[in-house]
Each structure stands twice: as C-alpha cells, then as structure tokens.
C-alpha cells in the first residue's frame, strides 16, 4: 500500500507541474527543516547559475583544481569569502593559486543576479536574511551570511560531468536523514543558457552517474577539523651529492627487484610506501563517499636500552579520511595515495597488520569496529638479540575510528613484502609505475587493491 501511495503521489505531482517559475522539490518545502530548506534553495540557485557558460567554466575549474578527490567546493570559496574558508580548503586553495584570489568573478556575478531574481522563490534564504538583520545592507551582506552557513557543493561524478554536450543539470541537497536518495529538480536548457523545461526527479547514485548532478550539503566535521588526508606529490628522485657529510652517495635508492630480507639489517632504513590504491566498486551511497582510513599495527621494543622490559603493540595511522572518487571506484581506476606505510620497517617487526576501514556518518555496532589480531616479533629473549625469523607473536588490538567499519585486515611479514615487490604473485596482474618501467605486484584487500614501493638507505 505504501508503494502504491508513493507512485500515485509522484505521478500526480509530476503531471501537475507546468511552471518553471514555480519549480519546487516534490517534498513540501514548508515541511523541511530550516537548514534543509536553505540547502534546497541554494541547490536550485547554483543549478541556474551554472546555466551560464562562463559561470559554469569557473565553477568546474575551481572544483577540479582542489585536488583532494572530494569533488566539492565550499559556497564560501565560490563567493570569494576567504574569511569563511575552512583551514583545509584555505590550504588547498593557497597551494593551487599561490596566494592569489580564485577566478570566481563570472560565477559570483551570475549568482548575485539569480539570487535577486529568485527572491520570491527563496523563503528560507529570505528568513535567514531577516534573522541576521541585514535587510538594509543589500545582497553583498547576504552573500557573506550564506558563506558562513558552512555549506559545500558536491559534484559526485565530476569526471563525467558535461553540461556542454548534455544540456541538462539535476540538483538536490543532502537530507541527512537518509544516504541513498532524495527529491530534486532537473533543468534542460538551450544554447543561450535559458531553461526550456524543468521537472522533479528522484535522485540516487545511479541517477547521478548517468546525469549531470550536483548537491548541496553541510561541510563534514572531518573537513572543518582539517583531518583530510591529501596525497602528496611523489618524490621520484633522490639526489645525494658528494658534499653530503652524512650519507654516502649511492647508498639511497628505490628497490628495483625482489630482495632477500636478511640482506637488509636493523640499522638500515627501509621506507615502505603505498603509491596508489583502487577499489572494485564503491562503498558510498548518493550522499556518502568512499571515505577510508588505513591503520598499521606493529610490535615495538618497549625501550631500546632494556629490551627485557617488554614489547608493545602499537597502532599507527597510515592515512585518515582519504576519499576515492565515485568515478574511480566504479571504474576500478587507480588513485594517487603516496602514503608512508612504515618509515623504517625494522627487522624485529617480523610481521605487521594492515587494516582498511571506511567511514559513514552513522555509527556502526561495536562488534564491527573492534579488531584483535597478532603481530610477529623477531627477537630472541634468551640472548637479547634481534632475529630475522619471528620468535613469538604479540596480541594487537584496535578500535576503528569514529563512525567507521573495519573492511579488511591482513598480516604482512617483512619477508613476504620484500620478496614479492615485483611480479604477478597474487593473481592480480601488475602495475607499472609511471616513473619507472617496473612490474609492481598488486595486492588485494577485500574491495581494495594496492602495491608497495620501497626505498632503502644503507647505513655503513
């Protein structure tokens, strides 16, 4: 009966819509929470703003240039309200534009015009204006108030977004009470950027993949708190000169073949990195992302001066809150990570744990967010000496991060990693690194795939 009611409701509403001027979401806007009403109105304003070709070009260029894989841009950034940028976004913008202002003149001017002409269709924004007592200060002050709302515009499939070829745009907002769908509005337009038709639609992730779609949401806490992992640019060369008083020239290099782990001593520095990662399908819904964290578990000698004092099992963050775009996840495309798995994988760390988890805003059950595993220690307690072979296991426990679920974990031995760097040992084929023509061995971790790249510093 519920399905029949919904079908009748949708059909009757769609066929009754004849006016683009009065286009509203299928939900009664008066029943929305104030924040949702504002997000809804802004989504429509943004959609109409980027009907203009120049405004659209600026919007897409800026969103694409913020290289943290989130495919989003804050409303504050689009409105040139630098004082309302998050620390994370400010750093990303500064890095890209080298302390220069972003080119948003077309977008901001167009948004101003749309905001003025749509006053009668934006009651929530009008109420916000009245509450902030800015009626006498005009549109500029209203833009500043909107910039303070901590909202961002997300283009979930930015890589596939093409309003030049497909002259349509669908807009919606994140309702936060559900992750998988919402009502929205679809505009079709002509070469002059004029709306020729408009209708209400139900937008989910598959719809967004097949149609130009954007949505408005509150900026997540992990962004506001600057906890986003941004993949650094790889350092593909290591230059050591003869004038360096500390390291012998030629003693630092990336490994280019599989290695006998016993040939690399405890005093040598073994830097183990994960250059890229990819997914076989995505874990998010329409309004949630492929947001992941990776944790390393290891066993360490408690004190260097007195190994008999004991051993500790520790957790180390490899990456936290890293996003893989939906486009890359759906299409099994590699994403740059360039993360340090272990800055110095010592001999006594005979094996370590690697853990993959994903984040959503709804908490998981405790049983899904805890892990108990083991790590092997290469240390002979009777002789107080480090050994290449594991002598005993150490229990290691961890709790996942907030609102996250452990998706996969695996024990990795130092011997395994060093002897299986190159070649198809795991049936996943190989990945040729862009900087060197070497067949890196791909490892699987549930829905994830990755490979290791190892740098060695020999200490005389």
Secondary structure (H, E, C), the chain: CHHHHHHHHHHHHHHHCCCCCCCCCCCCHHHCCHHHHHHHHHHHHHHHHCCCHHHHHHHHHHHHHCCCCCCEEEHHHHCCCHHHCCHHHHHHHHHHHCCCCCCCHHHHHHHHHHHHHCHHHCHHHHHHHHHCCCCCCHHHHHHHHHHCCCEEEECCCHHHCCCCCCCEEEEEECCCCCCCEEEEEEEEECCCCCEEEEEEEEEEHHHHHHCCEEEEEECCHHHHCCCCCCCCCCCCCCCCCCCCCCCCCCCEEECCCCCCHHHCCCCCEEEEEEEEEEECCCCCCCCCCEEEEEEEEEEEECCCCCHHHCEEEEEEEEEEEEEECHHHHHCCCCEEEEEEEECCCCCCECEEEEEEEEECCCCCCHHHCEEEEEEEECEECCCCEECCCCCEEEEEEEECCCCEEEEEEEEEEHHHHHHCCECCCCCCCEEECCCCCCEEECEEECCEEECCEEEEECCC
247 pLDDT band (50/70/90 cuts)?
low
Indicate whether 76 belongs to any domain: yes
Indicate whether 42 belongs to any domain: yes
184 pLDDT band (50/70/90 cuts)?
very high
Indicate whether 244 belongs to any domain: no
Number of structural domains (the chain) is 2
165 and 47 both lie in a single domain:
yes
63 and 99 both lie in a single domain:
yes
**Mean pLDDT, range 375-389, rounded to an integer:** 93
351 and 205 both lie in a single domain:
no
219 and 260 both lie in a single domain:
no
157 and 92 both lie in a single domain:
yes
Most confident listed range (248-252, 284-288, 442-446): 442-446
Indicate whether 389 belongs to any domain: yes
285 and 376 both lie in a single domain:
yes
Q: What is the pLDDT of residues 43-97, one digit of tens each?
A: 999 999 999 999 999 999 999 988 789 999 999 999 999 899 999 999 998 888 8
In which domain, by residue range, is 193 found?
A: 2-224
Examine the pLDDT at 367 and tell me if it is beyond 90: no
Indicate whether 267 belongs to any domain: yes
Q: How many residues does the chain have?
A: 460
Indicate whether 281 belongs to any domain: yes
The two three-digit tokens of residue 106, written as one number: 């077309």
201 and 264 both lie in a single domain:
no
Examine the pLDDT at 257 and tell me if it is beyond 90: yes
**Mean pLDDT, range 413-420, rounded to an integer:** 98
CB 417 within 8 A of CB 425: no
Examine the pLDDT at 10 and tell me if it is beyond 80: no
100 and 205 both lie in a single domain:
yes
152 and 39 both lie in a single domain:
yes
Indicate whether 98 belongs to any domain: yes
54 CB contacts (<8 Å, ≥6 apart)? 106, 110
Residue 91, CA distances (Å) to 88, 99, 175, 456 in order? 5, 9, 29, 32
209 and 83 both lie in a single domain:
yes
Indicate whether 240 belongs to any domain: no
Other C-beta atoms closer than 10 Å to the C-beta of 149 total 20
Task: Specify the range with the lowest mean pLDDT, choosing from 133-137, 436-440, 441-445.
Answer: 133-137
72 and 199 both lie in a single domain:
yes
**Mean pLDDT, range 352-357, rounded to an integer:** 97
441 and 308 both lie in a single domain:
yes
């Amino acid at each position: 009966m519920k399905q029949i009611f919904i079908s009748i409701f949708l059909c009757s509403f769609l066929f009754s819509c004849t006016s683009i001027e009065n286009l509203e979401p299928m939900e009664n806007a008066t029943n929305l929470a104030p924040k949702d009403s504002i997000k809804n109105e802004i989504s429509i304003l943004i959609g109409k703003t980027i009907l203009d070709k120049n405004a659209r070009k600026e919007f897409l260029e800026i969103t694409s240039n913020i290289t943290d894989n989130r495919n989003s841009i804050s409303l504050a950034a689009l409105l040139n309200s630098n004082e309302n940028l998050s620390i994370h976004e400010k750093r990303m913008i500064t890095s890209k534009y080298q302390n220069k202002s972003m080119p948003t003149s077309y977008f901001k001017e167009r948004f101003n015009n749309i905001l003025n002409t749509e006053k009668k269709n934006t009651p929530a924004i009008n109420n916000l204006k009245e509450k902030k007592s800015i009626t006498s200060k005009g549109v500029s002050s209203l833009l500043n108030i909107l910039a303070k709302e901590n909202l961002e515009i997300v283009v979930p499939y930015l890589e596939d977004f093409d309003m030049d070829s497909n002259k349509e745009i669908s807009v919606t907002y994140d309702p936060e009470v559900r992750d998988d769908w919402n009502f929205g509005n679809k505009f079709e337009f002509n070469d002059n950027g004029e709306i020729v038709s408009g209708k209400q639609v139900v937008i989910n992730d598959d719809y967004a993949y097949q149609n130009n779609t954007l949505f408005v949401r509150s900026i997540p806490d992990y962004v506001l708190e600057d906890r986003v992992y941004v993949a650094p640019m790889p350092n593909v060369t290591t230059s050591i000169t003869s004038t360096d008083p500390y390291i012998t020239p030629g003693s630092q290099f990336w490994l280019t073949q599989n290695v006998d782990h016993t040939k690399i001593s405890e005093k040598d520095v073994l830097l183990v990195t994960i250059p890229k990662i990819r997914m076989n399908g995505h874990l998010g819904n329409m309004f949630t992302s492929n947001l992941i964290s990776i944790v390393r578990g290891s066993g360490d000698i408690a004190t260097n001066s007195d190994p008999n004092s004991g051993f500790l099992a520790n957790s180390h963050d490899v990456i936290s809150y890293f996003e893989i775009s939906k486009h890359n996840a759906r299409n099994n495309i590699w994403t740059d990570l360039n993360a340090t798995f272990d800055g110095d994988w010592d001999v006594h760390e005979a094996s370590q744990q690697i853990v993959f988890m994903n984040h959503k805003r709804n908490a998981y059950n405790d049983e899904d967010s805890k892990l108990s595993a083991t790590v092997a220690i290469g240390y002979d307690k009777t002789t107080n000496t480090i050994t290449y072979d594991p002598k005993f296991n150490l229990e290691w426990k961890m709790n996942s991060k907030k609102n996250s679920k452990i998706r996969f974990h695996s024990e990795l031995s130092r011997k395994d990693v060093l002897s299986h760097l190159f070649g198809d040992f795991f049936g996943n084929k190989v990945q040729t690194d862009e900087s060197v023509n070497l067949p890196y061995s791909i490892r699987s971790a549930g829905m994830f795939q990755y490979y290791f790249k190892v740098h060695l510093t020999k200490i005389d």
